[in-house]
Chains A and B, each alone.
Chain A
Amino acid sequence: MSAEGFDLKGDNSISRPPSRGEILADRAFRGIAYASGGLVVAMLAYILWEIGGQAAPAIARDGLGFLTRAVWNPQEHDFGILAEIWGTLYSSILALLIAGFFGVAVAIFLTQDFLDARLARVFRTVIEMLAAIPSVVFGLWGIYVVIPAIRPVANWLHEFLGFIPLFSTPMAGPGMAPAVIVLAIMVLPTVAAISQDAFQLIPYKVKEAAYGMGTTRWEAIQKVMLPTASSGIAASLVLGFGRALGETMALAMLIGNSGQISLSLFSPANTLASLLASQFPEAGALEVEQLMYAALALLGIALVVNIIGTLIMAMSSKQTVS
């Protein structure tokens, strides 16, 4: 309890200037915090620089044509990733629609007093455990369970509603539909967990005030809770989308890996991440440059999605305040 630098005899106050050790600890902590923050940025910059550097010859060779053509032919040195960009975005958006709907519904169910608090915690843990299942297990589950389960439905849809572009091809096996279903389940924990946090952050008195004004429970959820939590929900969707974009193994096993641009849910397709995973091990020097370019494109898409997400969040939080 000895204070340095000040004469505090007879002072009973517990306040005292920080000791030299504490000042040092503070400085060290601040230094570590800055360094960690800086390292993350530096690492991202380094990764970008490294990938960009290796992709540079391919960028110089193909320019933007690489992004607008759908062909992958190492024999003829002819490369383009439009089909993969399409497959990545199409599968991620569809998966996000499903996971977004169910994720938010689950979050409402678990946070709006439908369940006993302890039971809700158990449910929440179960959903979060989905996130711990390895990707390859999801892939196997997709091959052995999802595909056989949806094949009859898919082929029935194709037979009777084949004029709708979504059902325009029969489903043989791997394709967009099983990939999207599995992807949605993989994204669900992210969306559900963060939306739940968003709901739990709303002070209880907001709900009480809504009830006080005579709303029913559903009116309170729809007109008060959902709008108030909307920025958190938007954040959960952006994070979920990011996860869907980068998912590799399960998709490589389920999507059929065939670079096609088709609206049909039952047609095989390909994604950037699964293209990278399947082509890298045997790629020649030239192909590696093209793959690096594709990786750069994937990074670019993720970046754009995050920026759009941040903008949406900024807008929606403004609305709630006003």
Chain B
Amino acid sequence: MRKLLAALAAAATVAVAAGAPAHAETRLTGSGASFPFPIYAAWFKDFSSKSDGVTVDYQSKGSGAGIQDLINGVVDFAASDAAMSDEEISKVSNGVVLLPMTAGEIVLAYNLPGVSELKLPRDVYPEIFAGKIQSWNDPKIAEANPGVELPDTPITVVVRSDSSGTTFNFTNHLAAVDPVFKEEVGADKSVQWPTLSTLVKAPKNDGVTATILQTPGAIGYVEYGYAKMTGAPMASLENAKGEFVAPGGEGGPNALASAEFDTNMRAFIVDPQGEGAYPMATFTWMLFYKSGQDDEKVKAIKEMVEYGLTDGQAMADDLGYIPMPEAVIEKVRAAAEQIGASS
């Protein structure tokens, strides 16, 4: 009720001030990636209450489904963890603008009673996920963790059963680090994992997290926010410079700093080379139409983007995402000008 009154009041103010007809409520509909859903939900709620008469509805149904919706023209914007491929872009007749809006880290969460800190070198974690290292007391793991009592438990690898942007970014990183992994498993939104009785698949980030928490000896990849929320221990990973970096600190922003965007604002940081960089950081994108939308919507979309780049970034850290570096934000702001530009 209060919201409605506020909206009415705001509308009235605009009408009086501009002398123009009050612009009716603008409703933006979006769909796509589930990884940034928690932060988007927080943004849109806050943004809707601050803006005059703009409501944003976002349906978290997966990056692929979001892209499909954008191609079919049933949404005003979409979101994807894997941006869009050139082929997908060519299917959108109105043209698309891809904007990285926030970023996250993929972490290796594990469940080893009694082991609260674990370091995994570059030659070890791809082999765990390729099914080559199968026991926690493998000499390669022990060597990197002096002083840690590693049990003789078999490693249960937990991966995503559904096709996902998280898997896309994770396998791309492993493939960049380990050519054998690239050869045998590959890198995509869903890959052919080795057939092992100790490899299980669970749906979505929450399913993987729950399975790890319930299975002694398990390790799996999830978004940082999910591991943080549930208190699952996360492994420190060795980066390209040979340093072990724990997720959640400065490692994420350090990794993002090395991003180089192409003309469509796409950048996949498969193996960040910078010092102190956490090895697996990924942007996540919002996808907009270049043309074909009315001015009201274009205006509302631009307000929403600007909100995400300013107030939105301030929320990122608390929610388990990485605030984007200032240089990236400037580039995104410039790219956002293309939305609705050619209409």
Most buried by B among A169, A174, A252, A274: A174
Interface size on A, residues (CB 8 A): 37
Q: Is B161 in contact with chain A by the CB < 8 A criterion? A: yes
Interface SS majority for chain B: loop
0 or 1 for each of B179-198: is its CB under 8 Å from A? (1 = yes): 00000001011111101111
Residues in A249-301 with C-beta less than 8 Å from chain B: 252-253, 256-260, 262, 264, 266-268, 270, 274, 277-279, 281-284
Given the complex, which residues of B lie within 8 Å of A279, measured CB to CB?
162-163, 190
Q: Is A143 in contact with chain B by the CB < 8 A criterion? A: yes
Q: Is B128 in contact with chain A by the CB < 8 A criterion? A: no
Closest residue of B by beta carbon distance from A252: B203
Closest CB of chain B to A269's CB: distance in Å? 10
Closest CB of chain A to B236's CB: distance in Å? 24
Q: Is A234 in contact with chain B by the CB < 8 A criterion? A: no
Q: Is A75 in contact with chain B by the CB < 8 A criterion? A: yes
Q: Is B172 in contact with chain A by the CB < 8 A criterion? A: no
Question: Which of A75, A148, A174 meets B191, CB within 8 Å?
Answer: A75
Are A174 and B211 closer than 8 Å at their CB atoms?
yes
Closest CB of chain A to B21's CB: distance in Å? 41
Residues in B184-225 with C-beta less than 8 Å from chain A: 186, 188-193, 195-203, 207, 210-211, 214-215, 217-218
Q: Is A134 in contact with chain B by the CB < 8 A criterion? A: no
Q: Is B335 in contact with chain A by the CB < 8 A criterion? A: no
Residues in B54-70 with C-beta less than 8 Å from chain A: 61-65
Contact A282/B65 with A75-B191, A170-B154, A260-B195 known, Cβ cut-off 8 Å: yes
Are A262 and B214 closer than 8 Å at their CB atoms?
no
Closest residue of B by beta carbon distance from A258: B201
Q: Is A102 in contact with chain B by the CB < 8 A criterion? A: no
> A75 vs B158: C-alpha distance in the bound complex, in angstroms?
20
- 13 A-B residue pairs with Cβ-Cβ distance under 8 Å, sorted by A, are A73-B192, A143-B211, A172-B154, A173-B218, A257-B161, A257-B200, A257-B201, A267-B197, A278-B162, A278-B163, A279-B162, A282-B63, A283-B64
The 6 closest A-B pairs by CB, nearest first: A282-B163, A282-B64, A173-B215, A257-B161, A257-B201, A172-B156
